[in-house]
Structure 1
Amino acid sequence: MAGVMDAVNQRTQLVGQNRLELLLFRLDGPQLYGINVFKVREVLQCPKLTMIPKSHPVVCGVANIRGATIPILDLAMATGSGPLQDQSSPFVIITEYNTKTQGFLVRSVERIVNMNWEDIHPPPKGAGRDHYLTAVTRLDEQLVEIIDVEKVLAEVSPSPETISQGVIDVETQARALSLRVLTVDDSSVARKQVARCLQTVGVEVISLNDGRQALDYLRNMAGEGKDPAE
């Protein structure tokens, strides 16, 4: 498995290319899933887990990995499919989101693929609002479902979406009322979290899905003679 992650650091240098890397994996069954490599720290065979009393149902336990105690979440169960059935030789994907480190239990890990954002599409409209997908794509004639990890974590361990009193002084908050911030993230949950946090201090927020949308937005502003910095 070391071979899968050998080039992660190099392959996440995609700034300005409107591309992303996906780590492909499977839960139960043949369906292929993806997760953004940019937020993956490492992949390893599932280590010994220690159960934690009264933990969230999707938390399988905690593992000691390189001296750190990391919670391990059953990703199949977290996305509504029930507990992972095939745990004969599962893997753990260690990730970092919102300054938190956690592992996701999966049945198998396939490979890393480099995708163009133009090939990434929103989830089908008929999927409703309760799904855990941030996008879908096709690879070798197979549908790949890209997991919205931020949504999973928001349900298991919610992060505060407001700024604590005393962090922002009166002068800073007054200045914030004149600011407009462009945020870009493929997760709708992440976009909403950032927007709510900024809006609590009066910042105007424009939220977009990816770098291409952001570039088009800025180009349109420039074409209309507007200064994006103002």
Structure 2
Amino acid sequence: MADKKYEDKIDILQVGTNQMELVDFRMFELKEDGKIYEGIYGINIAKVKEIIKYPNLIKIPSKDSLIEGIYNLRGEVIPIVSLAKWLGINEPADIKTKKVIITIFNNITVGFIVHDAKRIRRVSWRFVKPPSEVLIHQYGNKIVGTINLDEEHVMIILDFESICEELGIFSEDDIKRIRDTALEGSKDKQKKVKILIADDSATARKIIKTAVEPLAEKIIEAKDGQEAWDMLNRLYEETNGDIEKAVNIIITDVEMPNMDGYRFAKLVKEDERFKKIPVIMNTSLSGNANLQKAKEVGVDDFCTKFIAEEFTQAVLKHI
């Protein structure tokens, strides 16, 4: 009954309702006093390809200690990452409920070892809050947000994009390639634009900002869809209704606390004041299903983080 308040009466998760579904998984930590702590974590189901029992892994030489091995899943060889090592968790011995969550995002397939997978929860992004200072101190940039399930239990939503960065799946070379592509494309453009970036990941905002700087007269940053929406409304008032003086392009993520990118884009495109502003959805949620969702809310372009040519072409198109 603890999470009843997050249940929605509709059976189908509608786009633009500011909702998502999370896989609730657990990580067990052996404390110094010998007690075992059970941590509750979540990952957006849109990133999950499937969940399998912990398999026999093929061990490979790897400079990255986070990679436990590889697994051949129906002909696809997938790197398997230890989430416990990434989180700095002291694992208890002989966990019998281990699973592997096979994910696909940024057009990359990776498996993550978890200690148990419990259920799917439907939640509203407005219940997702940014991590507290205590959690930031403990986890750094590894957390997207938290949800209070009840008075005693909190779910932590992990930033899987930062895992990819740590594993070297997305590197400084990729950032340079995006920036170089933008520089090349900007040669034919006579004007620079004012860009609003909405993304809860500091890593992602840094990458996007670095990439679009050659094209931008001004860059405004928001940490979630609600903050971006509030900024737009404030800028509309400050410019006496001439919003083009303040914002020419919006680049938004999908997964954000308080208000997600789908809801934010829907609000923008349904509002007479803002609907002419091009909205580019730049997200790790790759695949046709997510592209279709973006189209439903009126997004002008959809690109996968962080594919250089795809991203810069989308931005250049609207300058």
Please confirm whether the aligned pair reaches a TM-score higher than 0.5, indicating the same fold: yes
Tell me: CA distance 1:166–1:195, structure 2 relative to 1, closer, same or farther (3 Å). closer
Once the two structures are aligned, what percentage of the paired residues are identical? 30
Structure 2 counterpart of 1:4: none
Alpha-carbon deviation of 1:164? 5.8
The structural deviation recorded for 1:166 is: 6.3
1:5 paired residue number:
none
Question: Is the alpha carbon distance of 1:40 and 1:186 closer, same or farther for their aligned partners in structure 2, counting shifts above 3 Å?
Answer: farther
Report the counterpart of residue 208 of structure 1 in structure 2.
222
1:111-126 equivalence runs, <5 A? 111-126=119-134
Q: Judge which range, 151-160 or 67-76, deviates more.
A: 151-160
Aligned residues: 219
* Aligned position for 2:73: 65
1:164-203 alignment, distance < 5 Å: 167-168=181-182, 170=184, 172-173=186-187, 175=189, 178-199=192-213, 201-203=214-216
Compute the displacement of 1:102 (Å).
0.4
For residues 115-165 of structure 1, give each alpha carbon's deviation from its aligned partner in whole angstroms, at most 9, with x where no partner exists. 222211111113345612221111133111111112222112251222268
SS of the equivalent of 1:162 reads helix
Q: Give the match for residue 146 of structure 2.
A: 136
For 1:185-230, what per-residue CA distance to the aligned partner results, in whole angstroms no more than 9, with x for missing partners? 333222322222223x343433323332233333333344123437
Structure-2 change in CA distance of 1:164 and 1:135 (3 Å)? closer
Matched, 1:91 2:99: yes
TM-score, normalization: structure 2? 0.60
Unaligned runs of 5+ in 1: 1-9
Larger Rg: 2
Q: Distance in 2 between matches of 1:91 and 1:138?
A: 24
Rounded Cα–Cα distance in structure 2 between residues aligned with 1:116 and 1:22: 10
Once superposed, what is the RMSD of the aligned Cα atoms? 2.7
Map of 1:108 onto structure 2? 116
**1:79–1:152 Cα contact (<8 Å) kept:** no
Tell me the TM-score normalised to structure 1 length: 0.81
Q: Deviations over 1:4-26 (max 9, x none)?
A: xxxxxx96x55322223221100
Which residue of 2 is the match for residue 23 of structure 1?
Answer: 23
Gaps of 5+ in 2: 1-10, 29-36, 250-319
One-letter code aligned to 1:217? M
Indicate the residue corresponding to 2:309 in structure 1. none
Q: CA deviation at 1:86?
A: 4.4
SS at match of 2:113: strand
Q: 1:49 matched to which residue of 2?
A: 57
TM-aligned CA distance change 1:77 to 1:84, over 3 Å: farther
Q: Distance between the aligned counterparts of 2:190 and 2:84, measured in 1?
A: 41
